[in-house]
Amino acid sequence: DLKFIVLRQPKRKEEIISPVWGRLVYSFEYENEYFSAIILDSIDLNKKLIWSKKQSIEDQKEFERLKGDGHIFTQNKRSFISQLNLEPSRNTQLYRTLLHEFGHYVHYLEVVERPFESDEDYEAKEIRDDYYSALSKVEKETFAHQYADRLKKKLTEEKIIPFNSL
């Protein structure tokens, strides 16, 4: 059901205010129609990844994931800094972020869309959509991380990923 994976160049201000590797968009307009899409932002390898030393539990987990992807951090008084490099960035974006966003989409389908495939009315779908929207960020992120971890393990075991660079 996922129609698009969009590769985009973020605007300079977006990179400063809210840098991301990728995101799921539930309603992406294309040719006057709306579809779900995963948007992956291009990465400027001339930039540095700066991670604060003041971390929530979720931030700590993400920091460990980044290190697991191969990012090497040095520290100063306030933060951890890593020069972005091709392989670790590729690991983060293709083998973790993309799969993580698939997890968000599957979660949405399981909670909102798939139950609607029966003979339910539209109002019931709206109630489920409101329920999904009200789920905590932690709950959504936990589902997406677990889904991504399972999918990555399966794809790695089947030797589908990692694939060679061009």
Q: Is residue 67 part of a domain?
A: no
Can you tell me the distance from the alpha carbon of 122 to that of 117, in angstroms, rounded to the nearest whole number? 11
Can you tell me the mean pLDDT for 144-161? 97
Residue 41 belongs to domain spanning: 4-47+84-157
Tally the domains of the chain: 1
Q: Is residue 148 part of a domain?
A: yes
pLDDT digits (tens, 9 = 90+) for 73-108: 999 999 999 999 999 999 999 999 999 999 999 999
Residues in the chain: 166
Q: Is residue 78 part of a domain?
A: no
- CA quadruple 42, 161, 74, 13: dihedral, nearest 10: 10
In the prediction, which pLDDT does 109 show?
A: 93
pTM of the model: 0.91
Query: Which two structure tokens, joined as six digits, stand for 60?
Result: 């700590």
Q: Is residue 113 part of a domain?
A: yes
- Helices of type H across 48-136: 57-68, 86-92, 98-108, 122-134
Can you tell me the distance from the alpha carbon of 24 to that of 32, in angstroms, rounded to the nearest whole number? 19
Q: Is residue 79 part of a domain?
A: no
Q: CA angle, corner 8, sides to 50 and 1, nearest 5?
A: 110
Q: Is residue 77 part of a domain?
A: no
pLDDT digits (tens, 9 = 90+) for 25-79: 999 999 999 999 999 999 999 999 999 999 999 999 999 999 999 999 999 999 9
Q: Is residue 55 part of a domain?
A: no
pLDDT band at 119 (very low <50, low <70, confident <90, very high): low
Q: Is residue 88 part of a domain?
A: yes
pLDDT band at 13 (very low <50, low <70, confident <90, very high): confident
